[in-house]
Amino acid sequence: MGFGFKMNGLIKWNLVLVLFFTVFSHVYADDGYRLWLKHNLVEDPVLREDYSKRMGYIAVEGGGEILKTAVKELQSGLQSMLGITVDSNMQPSFTGGIVVGVAGQSSSVDTLLTKDERAWLGEEAFLLSSRGTMLLIAGGDERGVLYGVFRLLSLMGQNIPFDNLNISEAPAVQLRLLNHWDNLDRTVERGYAGFSIWNWHELPEYIDRRYVDYARANASIGINGSVVTNVNANALVFRKDYIQKTAALADVFRKYGIRIYLTARFSAPIELGILETADPLDPAVREWWSNKVAEIYDLIPDFGGFLVKANSEGQPGPQQYGRTHADGANMLADALRPHGGVVMWRAFVYSDEEPEDRAKQAYNEFVPLDGSFRDNVIVQVKNGPIDFQPREPVHPLFGAMTQTPIMMEFQITKEYLGQGTHLVGLANMYEEILQTDTYTAGKGSTVVRIVDGSLYGNKLTGIAGVSNIGTVRNWTGNYFGQADWYAFGRLAWDPNLSADTIYREWARLSFHKNEKVEEVVTTLLRDSYKYCVEYMTPLGLHHIMAAGHHFGPGPWVSKMSRDDWTSVYYHKADEKGIGFDRTATGSNALEQYGAGFRKVYENPDECPEEFLLWFHHLPWNHRMKSGMTLWEALCRTYHAGADGVREMKRLWQTLEGNVDDETYDHVLMHLLIQEKEAVWWRDACLSYFGSISGLDIPDDLELPEYGLDYYKSLSYPYAPGIRPRW
Ligand code: GCW
């Protein structure tokens, strides 16, 4: 031994690993494919040894499909994070190992659980705890075990020591689903990360490795369902061959505790060429759906059910036959009930014949139907009443229906928040909405309590997120988009988690361990949402983006096939003032909210300024809390947002050399685009609003580089999601 001191075997091995890691970790760039499941080697030898000494064996009893997955994941995680191979066929002993299993199905698990713990462990719940030198991963069912395993690996990935480990968790809601707006031709509506990952052509025979990795990633954050087709649905998916293809995906997902769902096109009985009507009360139509559903369950016994967009933006629905949304939903619910399936019926509806404020229409349509839905129907509501705008107040339907379960629909893909290029952490937005008090059943009627069913005692509960993934190597296009997918899953599991906690977890899991990186990444995610709202739609402005592809500013958009697709409908700017009056003097959308909520927003002098122009139409010289006029505040807020992006770029640049070059460059190039586009949004909007108000931008601020006509003349045939044309 030439080092002049003696090394025991373990230290020697550690040294080799550390050397290996330092030499190679910065050489190979990270292409982002592994998401937050990097499972890099734990570099700190002391910590690694502390982890390892509790992992001499895995003792597992029983063995359904999901339990097998859990053990496999555990073994491969330990292999890559600790460099150890752990046998899974061991009997428990007291010398340091992991006992894994389902309560009530494994005697070794049961002997380690107290009576209370056993009673507490329900569906999908897990308990992760150190018992002396042993680790216990107990699940209420196999999915619970899998979630416990992933949590353990996540703690290790974050290098969190195991002292007195004692975590017991159960998900707050039942349906934790990704919604894919994926078309059968593999384009993705509002997708910015390539094509659909579902390769219908090669299914069912060819199982792309991505399907497995997709399921793993979702299961690791607690997502338990996936709607694989677009809500703008295609009836073809109900043809036999497509059902077989769907079944092949379901087989992959099942191993990870994930159920598959499809979108149901309401007119499918007609389009598949069999019937002349899709009237939900027609016996032949009802029979067609019952048979179709039975055919699906034949191949997919754990099929989850249907998500439906009906009578919305041109989609067919029950109203074409003079029936209600409840009639339509109930027909599908009746077909699904014998098999245990659910219907998620979307409330994203607004009519072009209706002169009513679009923000009010879903409420008007659905509240009278409260109490008339079957118990396997849940109404899926977007977080805000218009359409996934950068910032919206909560949708008034949350809390308005006491007898109908309501599930949340968030958008993870950034249709309105910079699409594929902007770094914007969405967890802040999700948190803001979930923690909003609707006051519908008095103070404390938060959205979380509506969504988790506790406010009105609803049995069926759920949260859905419109997916941001596609075929690009790193899944989300923009690397930071992974943080939104991660955040969605974590919040669906525990809607009371703070955005900051989630960002920190993601930062630790997604970058090579480094405190400086963790701080900067967390800061970027945290501040970016505020900046984005400021440079796009400050002070409650909304729906002022370009038409069609929704890329970039378009506050001047005034001619569309319907008024409520234009920008001028929403900002209502004229020479005197700006904003949408939704108080009693205007559309009175505020009347749809709880009394306590109304009180906060109805008076323009008290209304939180981030929602001022959402609820009020005000003169340009309205005095803000700061003493500034509304116009000046608008100018300064737009500028603050664009300056914020510059600060984000500066912060990121401090990380050069601390993150691998590929990721560093990838993020920096996107930040440069974001900086350019933030300035574009700011200047285009201020030029436009200045031309309407006749007021000048304060002279201490950077002036727009071009005139309004220039901004209006820009066109983006290459913006994602449209057919390029001149
Ligand atoms: O946000 C809008 C989108 C549409 C989408 C629709 C919806 C799937 O611009 O592309 O259609 O909402 O949620 O149904």
Reported as a pLDDT band with limits 50, 70 and 90, residue 94 is low
- Please, are residues 223 and 177 in contact by the beta-carbon 8 Å criterion? yes
With a cut of 50, say whether residue 314 has pLDDT above it: yes
**Closest ligand 1 atom to the C-alpha of 190?**
10
With a cut of 60, say whether residue 9 has pLDDT above it: no
* Average predicted confidence (pLDDT) for the chain: 94
Question: What are residue 379's DSSP bridge partners?
Answer: 345, 406
- Please, are residues 500 and 526 in contact by the beta-carbon 8 Å criterion? yes
- Render pLDDT for 703-719 as a digit per residue (tens, 0 to 9): 999 999 999 999 999 99
- Render pLDDT for 422-478 as a digit per residue (tens, 0 to 9): 999 999 999 999 999 999 999 999 999 999 999 999 999 999 999 999 999 999 999
Question: What are residue 381's DSSP bridge partners?
Answer: 408
d(CA 342, ligand 1 centre) in Å = 22
Q: Active-site residues: which are they?
A: 313, 387, 415
Would you say the CB of residue 416 lies under 6 angstroms from ligand 1?
no
The predicted model gives 245-270 an average pLDDT of 98
Reported as a pLDDT band with limits 50, 70 and 90, residue 27 is very low
What is the DSSP secondary-structure string of 517-529? HHHHHHHHHHHHH
d(CA 413, ligand 1 centre) in Å = 11
Higher pLDDT, 162 or 708: 708
In 140-230, the DSSP E strands lie at 166-169, 175-179, 225-227
Q: What is the pLDDT of residue 679?
A: 98
The predicted model gives 634-639 an average pLDDT of 98
Helix, strand or coil, per DSSP, at residue 289: helix
Q: How far is CA 414 from the centre of its chain?
A: 10
Residue 336: Cβ-neighbour burial (10 angstroms; 0-12, 13-18, 19+): buried
Question: Residue with the nearest Cα to atom 11 of ligand 1?
Answer: 232
d(CA 714, ligand 1 centre) in Å = 24
Q: What is the pLDDT of residue 15?
A: 46
d(CA 699, ligand 1 centre) in Å = 40
Would you say the CB of residue 309 lies under 6 angstroms from ligand 1?
yes
Would you say the CB of residue 190 lies under 6 angstroms from ligand 1?
yes
With a cut of 50, say whether residue 614 has pLDDT above it: yes
**Closest ligand 1 atom to the C-alpha of 313?**
14
Reported as a pLDDT band with limits 50, 70 and 90, residue 25 is very low
With a cut of 50, say whether residue 247 has pLDDT above it: yes
Would you say the CB of residue 189 lies under 6 angstroms from ligand 1?
yes
- Please, are residues 374 and 333 in contact by the beta-carbon 8 Å criterion? yes
- Render pLDDT for 125-144 as a digit per residue (tens, 0 to 9): 999 999 888 899 999 999 99
Q: What is the pLDDT of residue 225?
A: 98
**Closest ligand 1 atom to the C-alpha of 315?**
14
Would you say the CB of residue 181 lies under 6 angstroms from ligand 1?
yes
Lowest mean pLDDT among 136-150, 215-229, 348-362: 348-362
- Render pLDDT for 383-428 as a digit per residue (tens, 0 to 9): 999 999 999 999 999 999 999 999 999 999 999 999 999 999 999 9
What percent of the chain shows pLDDT beyond 70?
95
The predicted model gives 695-699 an average pLDDT of 98
The predicted model gives 211-219 an average pLDDT of 98
Reported as a pLDDT band with limits 50, 70 and 90, residue 725 is low
Question: Residue with the nearest Cα to atom 3 of ligand 1?
Answer: 190
Would you say the CB of residue 414 lies under 6 angstroms from ligand 1?
no
ω into 161 cis (within 30 of 0): no
d(CA 313, CA 18): 57
- Please, are residues 395 and 407 in contact by the beta-carbon 8 Å criterion? no
Count, residues in the chain: 726
Q: What is the pLDDT of residue 726?
A: 58
- Mutation test of ligand 1: which of 180, 187, 188, 189 has the most ligand atoms closer than 8 Å to its C-beta? 189
With a cut of 60, say whether residue 7 has pLDDT above it: no
- Please, are residues 705 and 697 in contact by the beta-carbon 8 Å criterion? no
- Mutation test of ligand 1: which of 183, 232, 551 has the most ligand atoms closer than 8 Å to its C-beta? 232
Residue 626: Cβ-neighbour burial (10 angstroms; 0-12, 13-18, 19+): exposed
Reported as a pLDDT band with limits 50, 70 and 90, residue 164 is confident
Inter-CA distances, 599 with 96, 232, 444, 550, 589, Å: 59, 38, 15, 33, 13
- Render pLDDT for 495-550 as a digit per residue (tens, 0 to 9): 999 999 999 999 999 998 899 999 999 999 999 999 999 999 999 999 999 999 99
d(CA 13, ligand 1 centre) in Å = 55
Would you say the CB of residue 348 lies under 6 angstroms from ligand 1?
yes
**Closest ligand 1 atom to the C-alpha of 231?**
8
- Render pLDDT for 270-312 as a digit per residue (tens, 0 to 9): 999 889 999 999 999 999 999 999 999 999 999 999 999 999 9
Report which DSSP code applies to 718.
Answer: T
Would you say the CB of residue 231 lies under 6 angstroms from ligand 1?
yes
d(CA 157, CA 649): 27
- Render pLDDT for 674-692 as a digit per residue (tens, 0 to 9): 999 999 999 999 999 999 9
The predicted model gives 233-247 an average pLDDT of 98
With a cut of 70, say whether residue 13 has pLDDT above it: no
Would you say the CB of residue 688 lies under 6 angstroms from ligand 1?
no
- Render pLDDT for 63-84 as a digit per residue (tens, 0 to 9): 899 999 999 999 999 999 999 9
d(CA 650, ligand 1 centre) in Å = 35
d(CA 623, CA 604): 10
With a cut of 80, say whether residue 17 has pLDDT above it: no
Would you say the CB of residue 358 lies under 6 angstroms from ligand 1?
no
d(CA 250, CA 226): 10
- Render pLDDT for 480-490 as a digit per residue (tens, 0 to 9): 999 999 999 99
Q: What is the pLDDT of residue 720?
A: 86
Report which DSSP code applies to 30.
Answer: P
Q: What is the pLDDT of residue 147?
A: 98
